[in-house]
Amino acid sequence: MNMLNLEKIAINGDKLEDSFNRNQPYFHERLNLNAKNKFQQLATIRNLDDKWIQIQRNTFTNWVNEQLKHENEKVSDLKSDLSNGVKLIKLVNILQQPNSKISRRYFKNPTNQHQSLENITLALNAITDDGIKLVNIGNVDLMSGNLKLILGLIWHLILRYQIGKTKIPPKKLILAWIKSILPQYQLTNLTHDLNDGLILAGIINYCRPDLFPDWLGWSRKNNLENCTKAMNVALEEFGIPMVVTPQNMSSPELDELSAITYLSYFIKDGSPGYKASLKWIHQYLPDEEINNFSTDWNDGWLLCKLAYKMGVSVAEFPNLDRTKKEENCKAGLEACKELKMETYVTAKELSDQDVESIAVMATVVQFKYTKPPMSINEKAKIFLEDSVSDALVGKAFDFRIEYIEEQCKNIKTYVKGPKSSPAVGTEKISHGNLKCHFLNVVCDDKMLEGCPIIINVKPDTNRIQLIFAEKEFWIHQPIDICIDPRGAGRGKVNVVSKAPSGEELQSQVLEKDYKYFASIIPNETGEWETRVFYENEEVNGSPHKFEVFDSSMAIITGLEANSAHQINKNISFKVDVSKIGSGLFHSQLINLRNNQSYPIECVETNEKGLYDLCFNPLEPGQYRCMLLFNNKQIKVFYPVSQFFLALNYITKIGFIHNP
649 has pLDDT over 60 = no
pLDDT at 456 (0 to 100): 66
**Using 50, 70 and 90 to split pLDDT, how confident is the model at 488?**
low
- Residue 258, CB half-sphere, CA atoms under 13 Å: how many? 30
**Using 50, 70 and 90 to split pLDDT, how confident is the model at 595?**
confident
pLDDT at 275 (0 to 100): 95
pLDDT at 536 (0 to 100): 80
Average pLDDT over residues 630-646: 55
376 vs 20, more confident: 376
**Using 50, 70 and 90 to split pLDDT, how confident is the model at 249?**
very high
Between CA 399 and CA 411 the distance in angstroms is: 14
Measure Cα distances from 289 to 204, 276, 301, 347, 549 in Å. Answer: 26, 16, 12, 22, 93
The residues facing 415 across adjacent strands are 439
Give every CB contact of residue 505 below 8 A, 6+ residues apart in sequence.
Answer: 496, 497, 498, 499, 520
Q: What percent of the chain has pLDDT over 90?
A: 34
pLDDT at 403 (0 to 100): 61
398 vs 195, more confident: 195
231 has pLDDT over 80 = yes
pLDDT at 405 (0 to 100): 53
591 has pLDDT over 70 = yes
**Using 50, 70 and 90 to split pLDDT, how confident is the model at 363?**
very high
Mean pLDDT of the chain: 79
37 has pLDDT over 60 = no
Most confident of 164-168, 305-309, 644-648: 305-309
137 vs 83, more confident: 83
Average pLDDT over residues 603-612: 87
The candidate with the shortest Cα–Cα distance to 575, out of 564, 566, 588, is 588
Domain layout of the chain by residue ranges: 6-163, 170-266, 272-368, 380-458, 465-549, 551-654
**Using 50, 70 and 90 to split pLDDT, how confident is the model at 65?**
very high
Pairing of strands 453-458, 391-392: parallel
Between CA 198 and CA 419 the distance in angstroms is: 68
380 has pLDDT over 50 = yes
Q: Which of 231-240, 440-449, 572-581, 621-630 has the lowest mean pLDDT?
A: 440-449
The candidate with the shortest Cα–Cα distance to 343, out of 353, 331, 354, is 331
123 has pLDDT over 70 = yes
pLDDT at 38 (0 to 100): 34
29 has pLDDT over 50 = no
257 has pLDDT over 90 = yes
170-266 belongs to CATH 1.10.418.10: yes
599 has pLDDT over 60 = yes
Between CA 29 and CA 60 the distance in angstroms is: 19
* Each residue's pLDDT tens digit, 386-431: 655 566 666 666 666 666 555 565 666 656 655 554 444 444 444 4
465-549 belongs to CATH 3.20.20.80: no
**Using 50, 70 and 90 to split pLDDT, how confident is the model at 563?**
low
Which amino acid, 557? T
Between CA 315 and CA 308 the distance in angstroms is: 10
Cβ count within 10 A of residue 475: 18
Average pLDDT over residues 214-241: 95
Q: What percent of the chain has pLDDT over 70?
A: 74
**Using 50, 70 and 90 to split pLDDT, how confident is the model at 3?**
very low
Cβ count within 10 A of residue 172: 18
In CATH, what number does 6-163 get? 1.10.418.10
CATH value of 380-458 in 3.30.420.480, 3.40.718.10, 2.60.40.10, 3.40.50.1980: 2.60.40.10
pLDDT at 16 (0 to 100): 46
Measure Cα distances from 45 to 153, 255, 509 in Å. Answer: 20, 19, 111
pTM of the model: 0.58
Q: Which of 279-293, 339-353, 449-463, 503-517 has the lowest mean pLDDT?
A: 449-463
Fold agreement (6-163, 380-458): no
- DSSP annotation of 356: -
In CATH, what number does 272-368 get? 1.10.418.10
Between CA 241 and CA 232 the distance in angstroms is: 9
Average pLDDT over residues 619-640: 68
Q: Which of 64-68, 257-261, 362-366, 620-624 has the lowest mean pLDDT?
A: 620-624
Is there a contact between 342 and 366 (Cβ–Cβ < 8 Å)? yes
262 vs 504, more confident: 262
- DSSP annotation of 135: -
248 has pLDDT over 50 = yes
Between CA 90 and CA 82 the distance in angstroms is: 10
Average pLDDT over residues 77-91: 92
551-654 has which fold? Immunoglobulin-like (2.60.40)
Q: Which of 125-129, 200-204, 420-424, 441-445 has the lowest mean pLDDT?
A: 420-424
Cβ count within 10 A of residue 618: 11
247 vs 575, more confident: 247
Average pLDDT over residues 44-63: 79
The DSSP secondary structure of 117-141, one letter per residue, reads HHHHHHHHHHHHHTT-B--S--HHH
* Each residue's pLDDT tens digit, 502-523: 888 888 888 887 788 888 888 8
The residues facing 381 across adjacent strands are 402
458 vs 70, more confident: 70
Is there a contact between 175 and 187 (Cβ–Cβ < 8 Å)? yes
35 has pLDDT over 70 = no
